Amino acid sequence: MNIAVAQSGGPTCAINASLVGVFREALKTPEIDTVFGSINGIEGIIGDDLIILNSAISTNEDMELLRQTPSTILGSCRYKLPDAETDETPYIKALKTFDKHRIQKFVYIGGNDSMDTVVKLSKYFESIGRSDIKVIGVPKTIDNDLCVTDHTPGFGSAAKYVASTVQEIIRDSRVYSIESVTIIEIMGRNAGWLAASTCMLRANGEIAPHLIYLPEGDFSVSRFVEDVKCQQAKHQAVIVAVSEGVKLDENEQGSSTDAFGHIQLSGIGKRLERIIAKEINCKVRSIELNVMQRCSSHICSKTDIDEAELIGACGLKAAMNGESGRMMYFKRLSDIPYVVTVDSVDANEVANTEKPFPKKWITDSGNNVSDEALRYFLPLIQGEVKIAMKNGMPLHFMLK
């Protein structure tokens, strides 16, 4: 029997670790002959664009290197499967690819859009009496906004990068003896998990970020200006963490949308910078952490990478056990000591939905988060991966 694995959605530091998890588990499974990697997510399955991972990944060193290489080694896609009743063509093509290569298990690593693909494929195979082909979803997203799972692979590494970088920006912001406001824009289309995670700096004695704004809170420009003024009375260099999904008002929202109908927002940091420059006479700077949040594997979280590999392995195990149309997820049993188990859930419960940051963890003032959030976040960023270096720069795994 052969299997296939694919990666989808926005890149993270941990999505290759999940692929290694699937691959290593396959090597340990006697029934499995070949592991195919599908190029550019489901598009590779539909278009029969596959590579043989057993040839591409030859040594344990390769696997270790791939685990710490950011982004998706197999490429990604944002392709949304049409309903099979509307257009069966891609399903027929996918089946042809599976049959041609004797692929009976397919593990799809991705976000909530990818879980939509897991649900549709698995339902289709069942509907045509081909439930011998099993489809399992493995979660990933730096946004941490998938339902059911305690957290998502990729988030811990992004949070570790963001917290560490914000801390360095705090040091940088304090050098001159003048009043300043630094606004740091952090990724999170609709959910503020990553921006909220900057509260972890409290654990290391930082007071900043002094203000944290999330899309889950009610944002008001006038209250924001008041908040900043209030912090300026206490701190010479005010640090603001703002989630890219924070909305100013309906007219000012970005208007472009991606294939899934998600609004593409950008520039909240720059817009808040302009507001402060106008309303308060002080030095103001906005900083976008940009794609570095999802690809800075040189400071990835060991917990995150290890868990990403584990959940990938569990995904293949579940498929081998006959599960289909399900997504693997983490269940947290305890914060201290941190204990999680992996289980599976109907992928339908995750597909196309989002888990917002809990309102109960936003402080009453609406401009910060509680220590409960801190306890939730901290375990996810623990530990460092020993990064392979060459010529003073991280070494990445590359397909030959």
* CA nearest to 63, candidates 94, 92, 28: 28
Gap between the Cα atoms of 343 and 335, Å rounded: 18
Report the residue number, 6 or 319, with the smaller CB distance to a second copy.
6
Residue 137 φ then ψ, to 5°: -100, 140
- Which DSSP letter does residue 393 get? E
51 forms part of the interface with a second copy (CB under 8 A): no
**HEC string for 302-347:** HHHHHHHHHHHHHHHHHHHCCCCCEEEEEEEEECCCCEEEEEEEEH
CB of 345 to a second copy, least distance (A): 27
Residues 6+ apart with CB under 8 A from 114: 8, 9, 41, 42, 108, 137
- Which DSSP letter does residue 301 get? B
290 forms part of the interface with a second copy (CB under 8 A): yes
Report the residue number, 25 or 43, with the smaller CB distance to a second copy.
43
Gap between the Cα atoms of 156 and 301, Å rounded: 6
Report the residue number, 286 or 367, with the smaller CB distance to a second copy.
286
Q: Which of 122, 149, 165, 190 binds a second copy (CB under 8 A)?
A: 165
Report the residue number, 229 or 270, with the smaller CB distance to a second copy.
270
152 forms part of the interface with a second copy (CB under 8 A): no
281 forms part of the interface with a second copy (CB under 8 A): no
| Structure token pair of residue 351 | 């597909």
Report the residue number, 160 or 317, with the smaller CB distance to a second copy.
160
| Structure token pair of residue 169 | 């920006």
* DSSP per position, 123-146: HHHHHTT-TTSEEEEEE--TT---
DSSP SS3 for 392:
coil
68 forms part of the interface with a second copy (CB under 8 A): no
CB of 258 to a second copy, least distance (A): 11
CB of 303 to a second copy, least distance (A): 8
Total binding residues toward a second copy, as defined by CB under 8 A: 58
Report the residue number, 308 or 319, with the smaller CB distance to a second copy.
308
Q: Which of 4, 5, 11, 26 binds a second copy (CB under 8 A)?
A: 11
Gap between the Cα atoms of 357 and 366, Å rounded: 13
Q: Which of 163, 211, 308, 318 binds a second copy (CB under 8 A)?
A: 163
Gap between the Cα atoms of 237 and 177, Å rounded: 9
Report the residue number, 104 or 293, with the smaller CB distance to a second copy.
293
Q: Which of 301, 348, 367, 368 binds a second copy (CB under 8 A)?
A: 301
CB of 237 to a second copy, least distance (A): 11
255 forms part of the interface with a second copy (CB under 8 A): no
Q: Between the CA atoms of 161, 167, 169 and 172, what dihedral angle is there, to the nearest 10 degrees? A: -140
Region from 82-90, 281-289, 323-331, 347-355 binding a second copy, contact rule CB under 8 A? 281-289
Annotation marks residue 116 as catalytic: no
288 forms part of the interface with a second copy (CB under 8 A): yes
37 forms part of the interface with a second copy (CB under 8 A): no
DSSP SS3 for 109:
strand
* DSSP per position, 15-66: HHHHHHHHHHHHHT-TT---EEEETTTHHHHHTT-EEEHHHH--SHHHHHHH
Q: Which of 38, 71, 114, 144 binds a second copy (CB under 8 A)?
A: 71
CB of 383 to a second copy, least distance (A): 7
Q: Which of 18, 38, 69, 117 binds a second copy (CB under 8 A)?
A: 69
Residues 6+ apart with CB under 8 A from 15: 7, 71, 72, 109, 140, 153, 154, 308
Cα 385 to Cα 294, 299, 301, 317, 376, distances in angstroms: 16, 8, 7, 25, 21
Residues 6+ apart with CB under 8 A from 374: 199, 200, 202, 203
209 forms part of the interface with a second copy (CB under 8 A): no
Catalytic one among 143, 145, 227, 306? 143
43 forms part of the interface with a second copy (CB under 8 A): yes
Near a second copy in 333-392, by CB under 8 A: 378, 381-384, 389-392
> Which residues participate in catalysis according to the annotation?
143
In the complex, the residues that contact a second copy under the rule CB under 8 A are 10-11, 39-40, 43, 69-72, 75-78, 160, 163-165, 167-169, 171-172, 174-177, 200-201, 203-205, 285, 287-288, 290-292, 294-299, 301, 378, 381-384, 389-396, 398
